[in-house]
Structure 1
Amino acid sequence: MKKQFLKHITLLSAGLLLSTGCTKNFIERNTNPNSYNQTNFDPNYMLTSAELGYTGSNDFAYETWRGNLIYCATFMQGLSSVVSYWAGDKYLLNTGYTAAYWEKAYPDQVKPIVDIVEWTKTKPEHKNLYQISRILRALIFERITDLYGDVPYSEAGLGYYQKIFFPKYDKQEAIYADLLKEVSEATEALDPAGDKPGGDAIYQGDITKWKKFGYSLQLRMAMRLTKVDPETAKSYAQKVAGKTLTIDDDAFLRHDGAGGRTTNNRNSQVLMGDGGQEHFYVKWSDTFINNLKGNNDPRLSKVACTQLYLADDSKAQNPNPNFTPADQKGMPNGRDFSTPGFIITADPSFTAFPDYSSPSPYLIKRDGITFILTYAETELLLADAAERFGLGDAATHYNNGVKAAITYLKQYDAAATISDGDAQAYVNAHPYNSATGLEQINTQYWIHTCTMLDFYEAWANYRRTGYPALVPLNFPNNATSGTIPRRFPYPAFEAVNNAENLNVARAAVTGGDFLTGRVWWDKQ
């Protein structure tokens, strides 16, 4: 059954490769999808394909490697690397790498999810699949617009349906308004008595959980707007109160390590060295490790270990790595092998690479988990809303969120379990203080999203809040004058594929189309 299921996904994925970077036979490719049509494919399979695409599971997922790990993880001083092409913590611009997410997201995520929305919107037998697809479409576009700003949205993926081959770039302000509308309407319309989509790899068709996910996603989207539209942020925080994810509702996709390239966990695949020597030269940042170590954080012994790989030419993990908290050591960011003043082997912390802390084998497994949205995130966002807007008890939400951000690790692996008592002891030792509340909340959000390996989200929330208070680097010849990047520049290939609309979008970027430009909600 599993092989047949994966065969459907593979065939479907082949039919969905409608890239914005392809111009040869453009109209034919956009109007005649010959691998599937409305009569010969169950749209449930397309839901699986879109979910796999969002979690970076298609092909080798260069967008995960380049966007999430090489750039966002090191921008946020979650990870550190001395591999030459890991340019993020040196603030160097590799336009191919910053374009990778766009290049893969439109064909692998946007196209299939738009197909489902279009195919099911008039079919009552698929009413829940339609609403889930609207929610997933909004989730997909939230990340794309957070990374780039104004992007093709309202016309994206509609080449087959409306003959739109050069989609306009919608303003991010308009995109966010529509995302909130779409998720709000779709969440309310979900019917627990209706269809339960069989292709749902996240909640297995559990409509009650999808409703709570929808309310939580509205909260996350609305809280992005705290700098530019606090009234909208406040109104949605009030609206979703009491309806969001609970402790057993974390949204994640569990991968199948035996399922071939389609289902492997791509964060893990990269960090295990399938694409190079990341397994040996990518470590937890000293910023991250020092925070956990300095606060006696019980997560330290579960998310980090030394001596995981003992030789750079071997990709076999040491079966007995060192999890002892006192021995954990983060690697400083912004180092390499050859730049004077920044050579890692000359750093006072250096002894040998295995002595730096790696992400633990509980977190990096081919059949592991990609987390999408968690109860802990939601509680911390509710704490932020309570502190900013006087909505409810910020301390209660903070305590709930921090405790959940500790105990959720058991979902990675039973060996990563931290007891409720140990989690509560950490909360008790770090009581909430309203005077520093926003810093406490959002520093914990950073820790949690780093342990989720969702560095896209860590970067977005940092740009929204300014927390944690990271110290920028100033590597020679960097592209930002030593400031932490704020967005990805638009892909160069769009100048060929959609030049007129691209030029309008470029001209509208606050600060210019650079790493230092800002998306609409990232107001100074």
Structure 2
Amino acid sequence: MKKSFQYILLSLALLTVVACDKGFDDLNINQTAATSINPVFSLNNAVIAASFVSGTVQNEIGIVQQMVSPNSGVLTGANFNQDNRDGTQQNWQRYYRGVIRFTADVINATKDQPTRSNLYNMARIWQANAFIVVTDSYGDVPYTEAGKGYIAQVLLPKYDAQQAVYAAIIKELTEATAALDAAKTVESADVLYGGNITQWKKLGNSLLLRAGMRLTKVDPALAQATVQKAVQGPLLDANADNCVIRHDANYVNGIGQMLNSTEANNFYLAAPFVNQLKSTADPRLSAIAVRYVGAKSGPEQTAARAKTDAASQIGMPFGFDNSTITVQAAKDGLASFYDYTQADRTRVVKNTAPMFLVTAAQTQLLLAEAIQRGWATGTIAQVFQRGIRLHMEQMALYDAKSAIATADIDTYLAANAFDPSKALEQINTQYWIASFLNGPEAFANFRRSGFPKLSPNPFPGKAIKGNFINRLTYPNSEISVNKTNVDQAIARQGADDLDTKVWWDK
């Protein structure tokens, strides 16, 4: 009887354990946590991560002489022709950790889902854009193994030669753009175009045009073939089509955030940029610039001193630091270096300003060059003027107070007519202006085209052998963890310094 009672207790205990164990898994599952994510939201993360950060001001925007600071320390870069890897690493880290990582996830999640084919191809286009940015800036970069840390546990990706990267970019853009189909699932949650297939096709073709034109020096045959593919489809041709990252009080413009906080009084519009706009009576100067007349310090840069008219603007010259610029400011008739012209922090570089990555204005100007080269058809003067008009009209999208009147646009176009004998210089100088605040693109096209004709920065303490910085250096963080692959890239490409040219810039 005693044994029977023990067996009964043991059975009850086992039943209790089984019952407890049966509910244990359910009790330890968070009923409100997501177990999967719609990949369109990962694409949205990739889109917003593509907005450029503050390091582009001291590097790419400085290299093309649109903005400059007389200060050293963390702001050292193109202003002194010196290497500051804290700045040069910013877009690398942002694009690999954000844009490329998220697009790789989307591509992996949708590649075998026919119902999400549009999303799959949108991610391919956006990833191609990201690789254009990083390879143009640094040269040889991780491509085939990039973004696969989670997917395939590739933690130390190899570097691909830029020539191979460009071949892959062209392939991806060609295939993905052609495969977009408005009859298939519309990804309406897409933050860039709301799933509008026509606009995504325009973006894909415009990026293909950009990629093709990048190769004009190194491989004219491939450049021509790529451009001719691109112009067969629709291109960005209206500001409503612009590839733009929008910002608000919660998600702010990275450049605006810097220029409205710690470095508000430290960056100025550069003399070459201001003088170009001023000498041609370009109405964009008034849309972009502000000068705090008579300011002797940062606190004196007040609204009461603000002048936005073109006649008042004086750009800061290159070649000076924060001690020697004081003497130069006096020579220029200014109260101090705080009296030079800045990008207007209440308009074009406010915290909520949009960030334009690929625009109709840029695309039409590249199309004008393609026509000039005989790679596309059209009336070159009309396309050239359309590109300028589109950029001037784009000013209103920064802020209503930056809007340019149609009559002022017409006056400028009449006074600055297209000159066939100066076609490439005119087109690419306008591209430089149209790429203001898009440092990576302005830097790439300046190297590719040789325009505008800028004088070298005369600062005496430069760390380059040539006249201009040719590329950005690899991040120290990358060298410290992926040195073997970085060293292989350096052995193939050339020294990891500011003088080495990328493949297409030979």
Give the TM-score of the pair, scaled to structure 1. Answer: 0.85
- Establish whether residue 355 from structure 1 lines up as the match of residue 316 from structure 2: no
Q: Distance in 2 between matches of 1:131 and 1:420?
A: 38
Structure-to-structure mapping, 1:287-326, within 5 angstroms: 287-307=272-292, 312=297, 314=299, 318=303, 321-326=306-311
- Establish whether residue 465 from structure 1 lines up as the match of residue 449 from structure 2: yes
Match for 1:517: what amino acid?
T
Q: Is the 8 A contact 2:469 2:499 kept in 1?
A: yes
Structure 1 residue aligned with 2:500:
517
- Deviation for aligned residue 1:105: 2.1
Unaligned runs of 5+ in 2: 1-32
Q: Distance in 1 between matches of 2:462 and 2:71?
A: 16
Q: Distance in 1 between matches of 2:466 and 2:260?
A: 30
- Deviation for aligned residue 1:322: 1.0
Cα distance per residue 1:184-205 (max 9 Å; x no partner): 1111111123233344222122
Structure 2 residue aligned with 1:145:
135
SS at match of 1:372: strand
Cα distance per residue 1:147-188 (max 9 Å; x no partner): 110110011111222232221111111111110110111111
Q: Distance in 2 between matches of 1:421 and 1:211?
A: 33
- Establish whether residue 508 from structure 1 lines up as the match of residue 492 from structure 2: yes
SS at match of 1:467: coil
Q: Is the 8 A contact 2:295 2:336 kept in 1?
A: no
Q: Distance in 1 between matches of 2:336 and 2:461?
A: 28
Q: Distance in 1 between matches of 2:340 and 2:354?
A: 24
Structure 2 residue aligned with 1:43:
39
- Deviation for aligned residue 1:411: 1.2
Structure-to-structure mapping, 1:166-185, within 5 angstroms: 166-185=156-175
- Establish whether residue 409 from structure 1 lines up as the match of residue 392 from structure 2: no
Structure 2 residue aligned with 1:18:
none
Match for 2:412: what amino acid?
Y
Q: Is the 8 A contact 1:265 1:368 kept in 2?
A: yes
Structure 1 residue aligned with 2:315:
330
Q: Distance in 2 between matches of 1:120 and 1:316?
A: 52
Match for 1:270: what amino acid?
M
Structure 2 residue aligned with 1:65:
54
Structure-to-structure mapping, 1:95-494, within 5 angstroms: 95-241=85-231, 243-247=234-238, 248-257=240-249, 259=250, 263-273=251-261, 276=262, 278-307=263-292, 312=297, 314=299, 318=303, 321-338=306-323, 344-345=328-329, 347-348=331-332, 350-360=334-344, 361-389=346-374, 391-392=376-377, 393-450=379-436, 453-481=437-465, 483-494=467-478
SS at match of 2:47: helix
Q: Is the 8 A contact 2:393 2:404 kept in 1?
A: yes
- Deviation for aligned residue 1:390: 5.4
Q: Is the 8 A contact 1:102 1:144 kept in 2?
A: yes
What do you get for the CA RMSD once the two structures are aligned? 2.3
Q: Distance in 2 between matches of 1:303 and 1:380?
A: 20
Structure 1 residue aligned with 2:19:
none
**Identity level (%):** 36
SS at match of 2:357: strand
Specify the structure having the higher radius of gyration (Cα).
2
Cα distance per residue 1:409-430 (max 9 Å; x no partner): 1111222221333212211211
Q: Distance in 2 between matches of 1:140 and 1:344?
A: 40
**For residues 265 and 311 of structure 1, do their structure 2 counterparts lie closer, same or farther at Cα, with a shift above 3 Å needed?**
farther
- Deviation for aligned residue 1:281: 2.2
Structure 2 residue aligned with 1:86:
75
Give the TM-score of the pair, scaled to structure 2. Answer: 0.88
Q: Is the 8 A contact 1:474 1:481 kept in 2?
A: no
SS at match of 1:169: coil
Q: Distance in 2 between matches of 1:281 and 1:165?
A: 39
- Deviation for aligned residue 1:315: 10
SS at match of 1:252: strand
Unaligned runs of 5+ in 1: 1-36, 57-63
Q: Is the 8 A contact 2:319 2:460 kept in 1?
A: no
Structure 2 residue aligned with 1:19:
none
Structure 2 residue aligned with 1:6:
none
